[in-house]
Chain A
Amino acid sequence: MKLIKALILASLLLLASCGESKEKAPESSNDSAKEKLAQKFGLTLFELENGVGPIKEKLDLSPLDIEMASRGQKLFEEKCASCHKLDERFTGPAQRDVIERRTPEYIMNMILNPEEMIAKHPEVKKMLAMYMTSMTYQNVSKEQAREILEYFRKVDKEK
């Protein structure tokens, strides 16, 4: 089992380094460049922007729901805080400003579907190469991921 794990890790790292070399593809607002990048990784433009996973359409975000955000906070503390702090790099990146760095759909897909995100998405491969530990699946439901997202929306405003 351990050998298999080691092999998987090695291949992930390999994938990650592949991702890095491809990172040199021009990152611009130029749609055709984005299309090329998406094509290169076998993604749609939506997936490149919003991640791969169960969230396949743009969310309709209503004004901040404080109660939902506090449920999200509890979940974050139980399931995420071992690796993510709000304001400092830990096992994974700091989360306070995540809502500014990623689209809401991308955040939810990353929580709900980390394995496929790691395997397919160039941005996640880049992150893996940087942090060396893969984002883990934490058995969070779609509804719970939405609550965690609400918590991120709240903390971003508290800067």
Chain B
Amino acid sequence: MIKNKIFTLLISGFILGLVFTGCSNQQEAGGTDEAAKRVYVAPGQYDEFYTFMSGGFSGQVTVYGIPSGRLFKIIPVFSQDAETAYGYSEETKAMLNTSYGFIPWGDAHHPELSETDGVHDGKWLFINENNTPRVARIDLTEFETAEILELPNSAGNHGSPFITENNEYVVASTRFSVPIPQKDVPIKSYKENFNGTISFIKVDKTSGEMSIGFQILVPGFNYDLAHAGKGPSHDWAFFTCYNSEQANSLLEINASRNDKDFIAAVNWKLAEKYVSEGKAKKVAANYAHNHMDEKTQTAVSVMNKEVLVLDPKDAPGMIYYIPTPKSPHGVDVDPTGQYIVGGGKLSTVLPVHSFDKMIKAIENKEFDGDVDGIPILKYDAVIAGEVKEPGLGPLHTEFDDKGFAYTTAFISSEIVKWKIGTWEVVDRVQTYYSPGHLNVPGGDTKKPWGKYVISLNKITKDRYLPTGPALCQSAQLFDISGDKMKLLLDFPTIGEPHYAQSIPAEMLMKNSKKIYKLEDNEHPYAAKGVKETKVERKGNEFHVTIGASRSHFTPDNIEGAKVGDKVYFHVTNFEQDWDIPHGFAVMGNRNSELLIMPGQTRTILWEPQKVGVYPFYCTDFCSALHQEMQGYIRVSAQNSNPEIKYTLGE
């Protein structure tokens, strides 16, 4: 019976999808003069918002301007990047260390801007890695990855990294339940042996440095997404979960049987209290904590060996389950902190829970049984209202500054606008196609800036010039300043634009760093000026400490290296002017080029295999005499004893 219902839903979705595909080119709200004017940012002018998009399976973060949709930067986070040498240079390799060793790729999902009083404060951007559970912090003065923390006792770090109102915690829940700690058990013993966890990562108020405060061990469901409360619900965080059936195979059917799954409501203030009272157990673990040392500009990786784990059995009143229809995906808290919206992928209504009612239901013990001792609240005691006809496959909701909510419907490819309080749908608009998340600037905070909604689409099909079987994914910008949503612009994205967050440009522009000061460079192989350039041998290591300025390297003729040496080129960019990077590559280097910002030192390892004289050069067009910016390194036979010589201009 239930199975049939799902099938009908899916098939009707398919048909709808086909219909929309067929007539896509006839409905064009964008492309008009008015839309063009709204998104046109004249040459030399600035965009209104920075938008940080997840690169999805590219593992990176992209920075766009809104409303123009122009791409400014790709910030390497979880994947190696040969353009900037991130993950290739000796200084950055350790950022990708994990308990599994060096991992060159990650699956990035949710960018989340730091907050003060529930409003974006422009300090940091957090983003999760799903596959090998990690959370990264990006510094918004540099727009570079500053820190990556691995999460132990976690598998599929999807419900992450959502932040509490004052950056007290970044929360993270596990999509996959696994044996915790890991052990060799039959997969079919899922119900008996598998668990999920919810991690609370502390964020240092000034440095932003992350550390795991505590983890909560939870029943073996799939924990999907999260949002922390705000205002009255400040002390709470909410986590959707599906697969309350605890299936371990064919989840598309077996995890879709129950009429309702749950939103887990966690009182983190109370959890904190239990931890301070010693109720959490110290559990042995092994997880990497990597950060960029500001002074040496070099990544430091440390393995942490234990973590505090709270069992709900030892922490009464800390966690409750709110029944929520049909495999809920997103969980979004409105700007007042009063309403909690659950996006039930397979549900025909969008349930909105009331925080006040939840507190009353807890006080009055209006429970409907429990799961492993965790009380299940009565649906009717908590529900504030249901949005009818929210589209097929409702996933995520964000909010504007006028009391409206915007929900994506994946299957029917639309954004549905509805009113908080009356729950009535007031507008709906097609997207092209299949939106997952959406973003209103500030749309998950206490103070949405409104104005636009960006739809993050999984499929583009016929929207752009075809590029073979692999097509781009895309974002679509809608104007939401009036009663009706208006499509303004389509633009392609890098990787999957899984989720995005936007912040007014003036909040970040003024803090954007221009150079690294040479005098503050404490890299052990920095050359602060030509006097400190040198070449030295340490066993079979051959260290070349070299400087770059327009338009030469100091030194540029180097002799004394041998076959079998590990040659380290430590290149310091002597420039102290904005936007004058230098690059570096040496013939046959098997890793990547270096891209060195002004005042920075970066190192690439080169292992020469044959005798000869090899050129190196600047790879970033730096000046009129860029083509002259080159040098030679001589490689002698392994068993020879060549004199070390290094010169410039002789």
- Interfacial residues, chain A to chain B (CB-CB below 8 A): 1-2, 5-6, 9, 13, 77-79, 81-83, 90-91, 132-134, 136-140
Residues of chain B within 8 A (CB-CB) of A83 are: 549-550
In the complex, the answer to whether A81 meets B529 with C-beta atoms within 8 Å is yes
Extra pairs beyond A5-B622, A9-B624, A139-B577 (20, CB < 8 Å): A77-B530, A77-B531, A78-B531, A79-B518, A79-B529, A79-B574, A81-B529, A81-B531, A82-B552, A91-B549, A132-B625, A133-B624, A133-B625, A134-B550, A134-B623, A136-B576, A136-B580, A137-B577, A137-B578, A138-B575
Given contacts A132-B625, A133-B625, contact A78 B547 (CB under 8 A): no
Taking CB as reference atom, which chain B residue is nearest A2?
B621
Residues of chain B within 8 A (CB-CB) of A138 are: 575-577
Q: Which of B398-453 contact A (CB under 8 A)?
A: none
Question: How far apart sit A143 and B57, CA to CA, in the bound complex (Å)?
Answer: 50
Contact partner of A133 among B531, B577, B623, CB < 8 A?
B623
Residues of chain B within 8 A (CB-CB) of A5 are: 579, 621-622
Q: Most chain-B Cβ atoms within 10 A of its Cβ — which of A5, A77, A82, A132?
A: A82
Residues of chain A within 8 A (CB-CB) of B623 are: 9, 133-134
A148 to chain B, nearest CB (A): 13
Q: Which of B571-626 contact A (CB under 8 A)?
A: 574-580, 620-625
Residues of chain A within 8 A (CB-CB) of B580 are: 136
Given contacts A5-B621, A91-B551, A132-B625, contact A137 B576 (CB under 8 A): yes
Q: Can you name 21 A-B pairs with beta carbons within 8 Å?
A: A2-B621, A9-B624, A77-B531, A78-B518, A78-B529, A81-B530, A81-B531, A82-B549, A82-B552, A82-B574, A90-B649, A132-B625, A133-B623, A133-B624, A134-B623, A136-B575, A136-B577, A136-B580, A137-B576, A137-B577, A140-B576
Taking CB as reference atom, which chain B residue is nearest A83?
B549
* B173 lies within 8 A of chain A by Cβ: no
Taking CB as reference atom, which chain B residue is nearest A4?
B579
Residues of chain B within 8 A (CB-CB) of A1 are: 579
* B515 lies within 8 A of chain A by Cβ: yes
B138 to chain A, nearest CB (A): 21
B417 to chain A, nearest CB (A): 39
Given contacts A132-B625, A133-B624, contact A79 B550 (CB under 8 A): no
Question: How far apart sit A132 and B531, CA to CA, in the bound complex (Å)?
Answer: 25
Question: How far apart sit A96 and B580, CA to CA, in the bound complex (Å)?
Answer: 27
Question: How far apart sit A133 and B249, CA to CA, in the bound complex (Å)?
Answer: 66
* B388 lies within 8 A of chain A by Cβ: no
In the complex, the answer to whether A82 meets B529 with C-beta atoms within 8 Å is yes
Interface of B: prevailing SS: loop
Residues of chain B within 8 A (CB-CB) of A81 are: 529-531
Residues of chain A within 8 A (CB-CB) of B577 are: 136-139
Question: How far apart sit A78 and B518, CA to CA, in the bound complex (Å)?
Answer: 8
Question: How far apart sit A132 and B620, CA to CA, in the bound complex (Å)?
Answer: 18
Residues of chain B within 8 A (CB-CB) of A132 are: 624-625
Question: How far apart sit A56 and B624, CA to CA, in the bound complex (Å)?
Answer: 31
* B528 lies within 8 A of chain A by Cβ: yes
* B313 lies within 8 A of chain A by Cβ: no
* B476 lies within 8 A of chain A by Cβ: no
In the complex, the answer to whether A78 meets B528 with C-beta atoms within 8 Å is yes
Residues of chain A within 8 A (CB-CB) of B579 are: 1, 5
* B301 lies within 8 A of chain A by Cβ: no
The 8 A CB mask of B515-556 against A (1 = contact, 0 = none) is 101110000000011110000000000000001011110100
Residues of chain A within 8 A (CB-CB) of B528 are: 78
In the complex, the answer to whether B551 meets A133 with C-beta atoms within 8 Å is yes
Taking CB as reference atom, which chain B residue is nearest A3?
B621
B266 to chain A, nearest CB (A): 46
Q: Most chain-A Cβ atoms within 10 A of its Cβ — which of B515, B551, B552, B574?
A: B574
Given contacts A90-B649, A91-B549, A133-B551, contact A139 B576 (CB under 8 A): yes
Question: How far apart sit A1 and B71, CA to CA, in the bound complex (Å)?
Answer: 12
A12 to chain B, nearest CB (A): 8
Question: How far apart sit A133 and B574, CA to CA, in the bound complex (Å)?
Answer: 15
B61 to chain A, nearest CB (A): 19
Taking CB as reference atom, which chain A residue is nearest B531?
A77
Q: Which of B350-366 contact A (CB under 8 A)?
A: none
Residues of chain B within 8 A (CB-CB) of A82 are: 529-530, 547, 549, 552, 554, 574
Residues of chain A within 8 A (CB-CB) of B529 are: 77-79, 81-82
Question: How far apart sit A79 and B577, CA to CA, in the bound complex (Å)?
Answer: 11
Question: How far apart sit A77 and B518, CA to CA, in the bound complex (Å)?
Answer: 12
Residues of chain B within 8 A (CB-CB) of A90 are: 649
B512 to chain A, nearest CB (A): 15
The 8 A CB mask of B223-265 against A (1 = contact, 0 = none) is 0000000000000000000000000000000000000000000
Q: Most chain-B Cβ atoms within 10 A of its Cβ — which of A1, A9, A136?
A: A136
In the complex, the answer to whether B517 meets A139 with C-beta atoms within 8 Å is yes
Residues of chain B within 8 A (CB-CB) of A134 are: 550, 623
Q: Which of B135-191 contact A (CB under 8 A)?
A: none
Residues of chain B within 8 A (CB-CB) of A133 are: 550-551, 623-625
Q: Which 10 A-B pairs have the closest CB atoms?
A: A139-B576, A78-B529, A82-B549, A137-B577, A138-B576, A2-B621, A82-B574, A77-B529, A81-B530, A136-B577
In the complex, the answer to whether A13 meets B624 with C-beta atoms within 8 Å is yes
Residues of chain A within 8 A (CB-CB) of B515 are: 139
Question: How far apart sit A13 and B625, CA to CA, in the bound complex (Å)?
Answer: 12
Taking CB as reference atom, which chain A residue is nearest B548?
A82
Question: How far apart sit A90 and B576, CA to CA, in the bound complex (Å)?
Answer: 19
Q: Which of B553-579 contact A (CB under 8 A)?
A: 554, 574-579
Question: How far apart sit A54 and B3, CA to CA, in the bound complex (Å)?
Answer: 77
In the complex, the answer to whether B550 meets A6 with C-beta atoms within 8 Å is no
Question: How far apart sit A1 and B621, CA to CA, in the bound complex (Å)?
Answer: 10
B454 to chain A, nearest CB (A): 25
Residues of chain A within 8 A (CB-CB) of B552 are: 82, 91
In the complex, the answer to whether A78 meets B519 with C-beta atoms within 8 Å is yes
Taking CB as reference atom, which chain A residue is nearest B553?
A82
Contact partner of B621 among A6, A91, A136, CB < 8 A?
A6
Residues of chain B within 8 A (CB-CB) of A137 are: 576-578
Question: How far apart sit A80 and B342, CA to CA, in the bound complex (Å)?
Answer: 61
Q: Most chain-A Cβ atoms within 10 A of its Cβ — which of B515, B549, B580, B621?
A: B549
Q: Most chain-B Cβ atoms within 10 A of its Cβ — which of A133, A137, A139?
A: A139
Residues of chain A within 8 A (CB-CB) of B620 are: 2
Taking CB as reference atom, which chain A residue is nearest B552?
A91
Question: How far apart sit A2 and B618, CA to CA, in the bound complex (Å)?
Answer: 13
Question: How far apart sit A6 and B547, CA to CA, in the bound complex (Å)?
Answer: 23
In the complex, the answer to whether B649 meets A79 with C-beta atoms within 8 Å is no
Question: How far apart sit A13 and B623, CA to CA, in the bound complex (Å)?
Answer: 11
Residues of chain A within 8 A (CB-CB) of B625 are: 132-133
A86 to chain B, nearest CB (A): 13
Question: How far apart sit A77 and B517, CA to CA, in the bound complex (Å)?
Answer: 15
Question: How far apart sit A3 and B576, CA to CA, in the bound complex (Å)?
Answer: 21
Q: Which of B484-532 contact A (CB under 8 A)?
A: 515, 517-519, 528-531
Question: How far apart sit A136 and B551, CA to CA, in the bound complex (Å)?
Answer: 11
Residues of chain A within 8 A (CB-CB) of B649 are: 90
Question: How far apart sit A83 and B550, CA to CA, in the bound complex (Å)?
Answer: 8
